[in-house]
Structure 1
């Protein structure tokens, strides 16, 4: 008469064990999903330099960068990132190329991201094979010095020369940085000696000199760093989960996305 009771008790134990195992698997799956889909690809910070310039910074690594052609405000794309280089009308006027493919149209096409139009301009290059950053002054993608043209990205702008206070002013003159001495919104792209990358936008109208000083003081302090000015004024735009900067709400043609 006791056997059915024992079988019932054993069945309850097996059921509880099975439910425990299923619950454990479910919790593990949820944690794995959460880890994969929320793993931070960047960190956001806002700092203010002693000269009063507010910097909004997206700190990431070069493997998370995707250069994109867009036709909207950066904050309307649904992507994390900032604006890219210069443009006019529907033409991209700064180099924007990934693995030797421009962000828009075909290689060597005008307005595609293949050229720094009119000028040899500072272009920030990530060589994915050699794992190193450089800023190279070039007019076209064909002039870039990279080890493997299937493993790099390059973003054009104007050289900051953060490590050389003596020549930077002359360089921005020859590279034709727009409105360098006027109070404008500014954006830039900076790397440091540890191959960390900083996407920087200020909503504080300032000169190029003031923006550069703020970056020297607040971005990777005490480390070697170099970078480029990107398009500025109303084109200075940033989108993140923590903050958005719309510039003057205009559309831009290219952005630097973190993915």
Structure 2
């Protein structure tokens, strides 16, 4: 039996090239079906930001014209907007926003550190967001990742039932228990 193709469902772009395939191809990481929160690193300005985008190319991402950026799509956490985050995440299609699931996210702080955060137990989006806000006082913003516990596949502390091939991964450089 042939294994399924490794698809990237959210925007996943590195230096203006989709992680898997080419722009406008299903599963490439160059497109997604609705506008969602996208974490962007712009190397020319040395800054992270979150923006809503549907297509992961330079014409829709607010980056410099030198193609030196990466972008990872997800759902906006809106860490600085306690009253509006829920509606925004819901409108962006946060899966089972009130249900208890394993959650994962990418966050960044004022020191330009990026954090891959995964839950060790099932929780609501609200509980996960609250825990992310509590990691440190200078956390700026972040996105929920849509991989749930698929983000935990290569971490020995976690188990997953996911078996689909992955085309995009976040490398953990310094794993710290929070």
TM-score, normalising length: structure 1: 0.60
The answer as to 2:82 corresponding to 1:168 is no
The 8 Å contact of residues 186 and 205 in structure 1, kept in 2 or not, is answered as yes
Describe how 1:41-56 pairs up with structure 2 within 5 A. none
| Separation in 1, partners of 2:130, 2:40 | 22
SS at match of 2:120: strand
> 53, 69, 72: which one pairs with 1:152?
69
Tell me which of 106, 112, 119 is aligned to 1:195.
Answer: 112
User: Equivalences for 1:78-97 in 2 at 5 Å?
Assistant: 90-97=6-13
Determine the structure 1 residue equivalent to 2:95: 178
Counterpart of 1:251 (choices 159, 164, 170) is 164
Residue 113 of structure 1, aligned match among 3, 21, 29: 29
Cα RMSD (Å):
2.1
TM-score, normalised by the number of residues in structure 2: 0.86
Gaps of 5+ in 1: 1-71, 73-87
Per-residue CA deviations over 1:101-127 (Å, capped at 9, x if unaligned) read 111112332210101x22100000000
> 1:228 and 1:126 mapped to 2: Cα distance?
13
Q: CA deviation at 1:149?
A: 4.2
8 Å Cα contact 2:104-2:149 kept in structure 1: no
Q: Hey, what's the Cα distance between the residues in 2 that align with 1:163 and 1:95? A: 23
| Corresponding residue pairs, total | 168
Is the 1:236–1:246 contact (alpha carbons within 8 Å) kept by the matching residues of 2? no
How far apart are the structure 2 equivalents of 1:121 and 1:89?
Answer: 23
Q: Which residue of 2 aligns with 1:36?
A: none
Query: What stretches of structure 2 of length at least 5 have no aligned partner?
Result: 174-178
Which structure has the higher relative contact order (CA within 8 Å, separation 6+)?
A: 1
CA distance in 1, matches of 2:151, 2:43: 27
Q: Which has the larger radius of gyration?
A: 1
